Amino acid sequence: MKKLFIAVLLVVGITTFAQEKKHSKGERQKLSTEEKVDLQVKKLTDDLSLNEKQVNEVKVLVAKQIEKREAKKSEMQGLKEKDKEEKKALFEKRKAEMKKEQEEVSVEMKKILTAEQFNKWEKIKEQKKENLKERMAKRKGKRGKMN
């Protein structure tokens, strides 16, 4: 009986570890632009309790944002062949452009949202920024241990 129990445990253990990870790096689900827009608008609608008029306006704004982001992403893919100093200059330029775009989005969102919704949106943005900083710090820590 003990041997049967141990064999069952072994089989269950082996099959559990043999399962694939669904969301490993590089295997993320590729979403279309429309799906990205819908997902982001739905999240904002849930978080900020947007009305129909606001949903439509935010959808247009988010669609523009995502299109710009995807265009810049493909542009940045071409930088792999460039030399280090040229890359650095382009990254600095891109960073300044991103900051300007973020300010423009904030101005547009302020026009669309109520004061209370806008404040909540700002807090959500800050929280996301903090989470990103933490994740990047963890990544750097892992890389440092590997080298």
Is 82 a residue whose pLDDT tops 90?
no
Q: 81: which DSSP letter?
A: G
Structure tokens at 18: 């043999």
Mean pLDDT, rounded, of the chain: 83
* Global model pTM greater than 0.85: no
Is 6 a residue whose pLDDT tops 60?
yes
Is 71 a residue whose pLDDT tops 70?
yes
**Mean pLDDT, residues 58-64 taken together:** 92
Look up tokens 């099959």; give the residue: 15
Pick the range with the lowest mean pLDDT from 1-10, 40-49, 110-119. 1-10
pLDDT of residue 23: 52
CA–CA dist 59, 41 (Å, integer): 6
Percent of the chain with pLDDT over 70: 83
Is 114 a residue whose pLDDT tops 90?
yes
Pick the range with the lowest mean pLDDT from 4-18, 69-83, 94-108. 4-18
pLDDT of residue 3: 76
Is 105 a residue whose pLDDT tops 80?
yes
CA–CA dist 65, 41 (Å, integer): 12
CA–CA dist 3, 54 (Å, integer): 65
Do residues 11 and 76 make contact, with C-beta atoms less than 8 angstroms apart? no
Look up tokens 């689900």; give the residue: 29
Helices (H), the chain: 2-18, 33-48, 52-77, 84-112, 115-146
